[in-house]
Structure 1
Amino acid sequence: MVAKRETFGGSLDDVRAFCAVVDLGTVTAAAASLRETKGSVSRRITRLERTLGATLMARTPRAISPTAEGLAFHARAQESLALLDEAVETARDARTVPAGHLRVTTSVDFGIEVMPEIVASFREAYPQITVEMVNTDARLDLAANRIDLALRLGRAEETGYRAVLIMNLQIGLYAAPAYLARRRAPAAFADLAQHDLILARGRPNDGLLAFSDGVGGTESVRIEPVIRAGDYATVLRLTLAGAGIGYIPSLVAAGAVESGALVRILSPWAIRTGSLRALSLAGRELPARVRVFREHVSLALRRRFAVEPDRS
């Protein structure tokens, strides 16, 4: 429920001053506690009464005491101030204490093939943080969808967000051992014409792909796929099934290569294609839960791909 603005238009400092006078018994004691003058505290109470349209304190030349209305207001005001202080402390802790719920979005293929192990190790390190993965190829608006962090692959296009580079990307050619048992592995790019190729994401059927060896050599290759898919996760599955040579990001293919289910073809030739970036809402400081997750993802990927560094 949204708080109604018209319920109170005064100063919280005035409310705190009134509560201090009731709690401590005198304006003098309240002023010392608040490090203000007696006149300042008295003016705060008068201003609060004027704002509320009620007499909160009964005044005599020698004493000041709360009225019945003042006692009733004090009881509820103290409760509200305690809740507000708790909310402020929670907000401050969010910047320094890694805890709470984390909502992360990334592409379907990256979310399925790469993130599970990373999320599992993160949860082991930070059990006080719950994680919600939103895997979609749609580029969600972070504020509208309450997203804490977006892991974006490809070219840096979006503006208005805080973006941190995690790593540069490369796409290579991969095949299953079962496919290579039937078809001899290509020794040169010209040999690809004799193979079944699998592509994803809107590449033109007769498109030219520019491969690099990472040390200055380049090769333009015309790719004519026999199978096309809407995402790299599907290309990976088709390649694992032995349907052909798949054009797959090294991040997505890594697990299958490590297990021996896929073999890199024509290594070290690859296509350097953008980067993996972590996007968050621009602001003064990230919540601790977002910051430690971003650092965990970056460290996990650097460790995993230390054997296959990006040379671009």
Structure 2
Amino acid sequence: MDRLTEMEAFATVVDQGGFTDAAKKMGISKSAVSKHVSSLEARLGARLLNRTTRRVSPTEIGLAYYDRARRVLNDAGEADALVTSMQSAPSGLLRISVATDFGVNHLSPALSDFLSDFPDITVNMVLNNRYVELISEGFDMAVRIGELEDSTLRARKLTETTKRMIASPKYFEQYGRPEKIDDLNNHKLLHYSNQSSGNVWKLTAPSGEKRQVRTAGWLSVNDGQSLLNAAISGLGIAYLPSFLYSEAMEKGLVEDAIPELPLETQGIYAVYPPGRFTQPKVRAFIDFLVHEFAEKGPTDW
């Protein structure tokens, strides 16, 4: 007799509190359920259930066996679900949270290829610059940049970006160029106001010493593209990721404020809720992003 079927019959009897309800749950006869349980007890050489005219309850051994059996049955069910999901075409609504700067400049242009490859998926991409609670806010996944705050989420690195301080040639002509980190206290700094640490710049000195710059910049903006525009206009020095400033730097619109400083590197990740298996639509999009950004970063954008 099938060992899993015996296990399922026994576990269902415990769950339902009797053979009659277990038979209804499994869609088989009461005698068949009884036969499966009796066969299991005979094979194990132990009585797993206390049977009376009024109720059925697990013995001490039966309760211990039930805990393990339920885990095995759950694992078997998840294994079946995995195969089914891998064979089925990805479909349905995919809700994605993406930082505005990265979404506008790099994710939006790639969506047409993804939707062409997966016509049964509908994408709802929400652009914002705040931390989103994936599960409570109903998102399937997010693309996040930098240190991951929530360790309970699953994550897959897509690529990397660097950060550096940049300003326009016009700014350097008017205010001079800082030569070392301490000189930043005498310059006009542009801050990202949407982050609690937006007015704290974590830098590395040429010696390798980790430094933090805390100043009340004379302009704070909650959008990276706006900060870049402000830097290009000569309003001050901004500390931005390479995926934002690379094109402007190639055109000579901005320059590195202190070229001697080592570049700070940040990861760009796809994050999604925990669980043993990933929804096909989520897996499809993450695989697409990995391929899309395979030749991007950390400075090549």
Smaller-chain TM-score bracket? 0.5 to 0.7
Aligned twin of 1:210: 203
Question: Following the alignment from structure 1 to structure 2, what is the Cα–Cα distance between the partners of residues 168 and 293?
Answer: 18
Does residue 281 of structure 1 match 2:269? no
Match among 154, 177, 201 for residue 186 of structure 1: 177
Question: Following the alignment from structure 1 to structure 2, what is the Cα–Cα distance between the partners of residues 195 and 298?
Answer: 39
- Say if 1:220 and 1:138 are closer, same or farther in 2 by CA, change over 3 A: closer
- Say if 1:160 and 1:194 are closer, same or farther in 2 by CA, change over 3 A: closer
Question: Following the alignment from structure 2 to structure 1, what is the Cα–Cα distance between the partners of residues 88 and 260?
Answer: 43
Aligned twin of 2:94: 102
> How big is the shift at 1:149?
1.0
Contact 1:95 1:287 (C-alpha < 8 Å) held by counterparts? no
TM-score, length-scaled by structure 1: 0.57
Q: Amino acid of the residue matched to residue 226 of structure 1? A: W
- Say if 1:191 and 1:139 are closer, same or farther in 2 by CA, change over 3 A: closer
Match among 285, 288, 296 for residue 296 of structure 1: 288
> How big is the shift at 1:177?
4.8
Aligned twin of 1:29: none
**What's the secondary structure of 2:108's corresponding residue?**
helix
Match among 231, 245, 248 for residue 239 of structure 1: 231
> How big is the shift at 1:158?
0.7
Q: Provide, for residues 52-84 of structure 1, a one-character-per-residue CA deviation record: whole Å limited to 9, x for no partner.
A: xxxxxxxxxxxxxxxxxxxxxxxxxxxxxxxxx
Contact 1:149 1:290 (C-alpha < 8 Å) held by counterparts? yes
Instruction: Name structure 2 gaps, 5 residues minimum.
Output: 1-20, 33-79
1:1-312 superposed matches below 5 A: 10-11=24-25, 13-14=27-28, 92-93=84-85, 96-179=88-171, 182-183=173-174, 186=177, 188-189=179-180, 192=184, 195-200=187-192, 201-203=195-197, 209-211=202-204, 217-218=208-209, 220=211, 222=213, 224=215, 225-258=217-250, 261-267=253-259, 269-270=261-262, 272=264, 274-305=266-297, 308=300
> How big is the shift at 1:133?
1.0
> How big is the shift at 1:148?
1.3
Q: Amino acid of the residue matched to residue 188 of structure 2? A: D
Contact 2:162 2:298 (C-alpha < 8 Å) held by counterparts? no
> How big is the shift at 1:248?
0.8
Q: Provide, for residues 216-243 of structure 1, a one-character-per-residue CA deviation record: whole Å limited to 9, x for no partner.
A: 7447474643322234333223223332
Q: Provide, for residues 137-163 of structure 1, a one-character-per-residue CA deviation record: whole Å limited to 9, x for no partner.
A: 333332232211112223222132212
- Say if 1:217 and 1:121 are closer, same or farther in 2 by CA, change over 3 A: farther
Contact 2:103 2:127 (C-alpha < 8 Å) held by counterparts? yes
Q: Amino acid of the residue matched to residue 179 of structure 2? A: A
Computing the radius of gyration from Cα coordinates, the structure with the larger value is 1
Quote the sequence identity (%).
Answer: 22
> How big is the shift at 1:105?
0.7
Aligned twin of 1:85: none
Instruction: Name structure 1 gaps, 5 residues minimum.
Output: 1-7, 18-38, 41-87
Which consecutive segments of 4 or more residues in structure 1 shift more than 6 A?
Answer: none
Q: Amino acid of the residue matched to residue 186 of structure 1? A: R
**What's the secondary structure of 2:133's corresponding residue?**
coil
TM-score, length-scaled by structure 2: 0.59
- Say if 1:125 and 1:157 are closer, same or farther in 2 by CA, change over 3 A: same
Question: Following the alignment from structure 1 to structure 2, what is the Cα–Cα distance between the partners of residues 145 and 95?
Answer: 29
**What's the secondary structure of 1:304's corresponding residue?**
coil
- Say if 1:288 and 1:260 are closer, same or farther in 2 by CA, change over 3 A: farther
- Say if 1:114 and 1:210 are closer, same or farther in 2 by CA, change over 3 A: same
